[in-house]
């Protein structure tokens, strides 16, 4: 947060959470995480803040469990590894489904929060989709572009989103989905390191 100009204490205050929360070592609940992401949206006043916090992050500071996805065999394997990390650390399921989604045939990646009682905040959806795009682009070393980005939120089109994804963005979709050409998921990762992944 500090890297994008938002002091962590200000974020916690906006979310009405204790400023000592990071020092407690306690897990953040789904509800608390959603409140933090909505506070981030309010403080930043940037409709693309979720994209910005991920695309500007240095992969060198990622935890090893997330970094492992960048050494996967291909994009599909990388997404599966990222999904395993999320399943172990958060009550969130990352799922890939093949087929036709809103008239487009491809591989759709979506999220399900197991303990959510409300819609996932836009900044959170954007951060996950940006994480997947950074994995796709940095992992393959190519300019992977999704077929389409489906966002359940309503509102005005964001030039920042269309520019970042370099793909059509559909608002008011039935659910949040990132649609890839199935062939893109089979793109190899030049940095594949089976010895590192075996550790």
From 14-18, 29-33, 76-80, 83-87, the region with the lowest mean pLDDT: 83-87
pLDDT tens string 39-65: 999 999 899 999 999 887 776 666 666
- On whether residue 143 sits in a domain, the answer given is yes
In a domain, 25, yes or no: no
Q: What is the pLDDT of residues 68-98, one digit of tens each?
A: 888 899 999 999 999 988 888 888 999 999 9
Whether 190 maps to a domain, the answer reads: no
What domain range is 59 assigned to?
46-185
- Identify whether 192 is part of a domain: no
Classify each residue of 101-118 as buried b or exposed e, where b means 16 or more C-beta atoms within 10 Å of its C-beta: beebebbbbbbebeeeee
pLDDT of residue 70: 85
Is the separation of the CB atoms in 106 and 38 below 8 Å?
no
3-state secondary structure of 114: coil
Query: Within 19-92, where are the H helices?
Result: 21-24, 30-44, 49-55, 64-67, 75-89
Does residue 21 lie within any of the structural domains? no
Is there a domain that residue 195 lies in?
Answer: no
In a domain, 174, yes or no: yes
Task: Give the model's pLDDT for residue 60.
Answer: 64
Residue 2 has pLDDT above 70, yes or no: yes
pTM recorded for the entire structure: 0.91
pLDDT reported for residue 87: 83
**Nearest-angstrom CA–CA distance, 116 and 95:** 16
Number of domains in the chain: 1
What pLDDT is attached to residue 10?
93
Cβ atoms 108, 121 nearer than 8 A: no
Q: Is residue 4 part of a domain?
A: no
**What tokens were used for 140?**
């393959």
């Amino acid at each position: 947060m500090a890297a994008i100009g938002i002091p962590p204490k200000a974020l916690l205050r906006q979310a009405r959470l204790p400023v000592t929360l990071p020092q407690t070592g306690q897990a953040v609940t789904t509800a608390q995480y959603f409140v933090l992401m909505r506070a981030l949206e309010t403080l930043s006043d940037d409709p693309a803040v979720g994209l910005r916090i991920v695309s500007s992050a240095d992969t060198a500071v990622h935890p090893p469990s997330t970094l492992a996805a960048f050494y996967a065999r291909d994009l599909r394997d990388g997404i599966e590894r990222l999904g395993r990390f999320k399943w172990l650390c958060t009550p969130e399921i990352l799922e890939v489904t093949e087929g036709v989604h809103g008239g487009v045939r491809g591989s759709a990646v979506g999220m399900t929060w197991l303990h959510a009682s409300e819609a996932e905040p836009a900044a959170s959806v954007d951060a996950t989709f940006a994480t997947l795009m950074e994995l796709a682009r940095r992992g393959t070393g190519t300019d992977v572009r999704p077929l389409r980005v489906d966002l359940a939120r309503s509102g005005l089109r964001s030039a920042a989103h269309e520019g970042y994804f370099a793909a059509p963005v559909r608002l008011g979709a039935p659910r949040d989905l990132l649609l890839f050409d199935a062939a893109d998921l089979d793109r190899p990762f030049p940095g594949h390191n089976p010895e590192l992944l075996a550790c």
